[in-house]
Amino acid sequence: MGQNTKIQWTWRKLPDGSLVAGHSWNPWWGCLKVSEECTHCYAEQGAKRYGFQIWGPEATTERRFFGEHHWQEPYRWNQQAQQQRHRRSVFCASMADVFDEHTAVIAHRQRLWQLVETTPWLNWLLLTKRPQYIREMTPWGQDAWPDNIWIGTSVGRQKRAEERLPHLLAVPALVHFVSVEPQLELVNLRPYLSRLQWVICGGESGPRARPFDLAWARDVREQCLAYNVAYFFKQVGGRYHHSGGRLLDGRTWDEMPPEFPG
Residue 141 CB, nearest approach to ligand SF4 (Å): 26
With contacts defined by CB under 6 A, name the span among 14-22, 26-34, 113-121, 144-152 that binds ligand SF4: 26-34
Which member of 31, 54, 155, 230 binds ligand SF4 (CB under 6 A)? 31
Smaller CB distance to ligand SF4: residue 21 or 41? 41
Separation in Å, CA 129 to CA 23, 33, 86, 262: 21, 9, 29, 26
Could you say which DSSP state residue 71 is in? H
Residue 75 CB, nearest approach to ligand SF4 (Å): 25
Residue 96 CB, nearest approach to ligand SF4 (Å): 6
Interface with ligand SF4, residue 151, by CB under 6 A: no
Q: How far apart are CA 1 and CA 70, in angstroms?
A: 7
With contacts defined by CB under 6 A, name the span among 38-46, 75-83, 142-150, 171-179 that binds ligand SF4: 38-46
Total residues in contact with ligand SF4, by rule CB under 6 A: 10
Which member of 38, 151, 199, 209 binds ligand SF4 (CB under 6 A)? 38
With contacts defined by CB under 6 A, name the span among 13-21, 35-43, 67-75, 217-225 that binds ligand SF4: 35-43
Interface with ligand SF4, residue 33, by CB under 6 A: yes
Residue 240 CB, nearest approach to ligand SF4 (Å): 18
Cβ density class 166-177: b for 16+ within 10 Å, e for less: ebbbebebbbbb
Q: Of the candidates 203, 261, 249, which has an alpha carbon nearest to the alpha carbon of residue 222?
A: 249
Which member of 1, 7, 20, 34 binds ligand SF4 (CB under 6 A)? 34
Residue type, 106: I
Residue type, 123: N
Residue 34 CB, nearest approach to ligand SF4 (Å): 6
Interface with ligand SF4, residue 149, by CB under 6 A: no
Facing residues of 190 across strands? none
Interface with ligand SF4, residue 43, by CB under 6 A: yes
Contact in structure between 164 and 153 (CB atoms under 8 Å):
yes
Q: What H or E segment, with its residue span, contains residue 117?
A: helix 106-117
Q: How far apart are CA 248 and CA 234, in angstroms?
A: 10
Which member of 21, 41, 104, 214 binds ligand SF4 (CB under 6 A)? 41
Residue 67 CB, nearest approach to ligand SF4 (Å): 22
Separation in Å, CA 262 to CA 37, 72, 149, 211: 32, 21, 10, 40
Cβ density class 106-141: b for 16+ within 10 Å, e for less: eebbeebbebbeebebbbbbbbbbbbbebeebbebe
Applying the rule CB under 6 A, the residues between 70 and 129 that interact with ligand SF4 are 96-97, 129
Residues found near ligand SF4 in the complex (CB under 6 A): 31, 33-34, 38, 41, 43-44, 96-97, 129
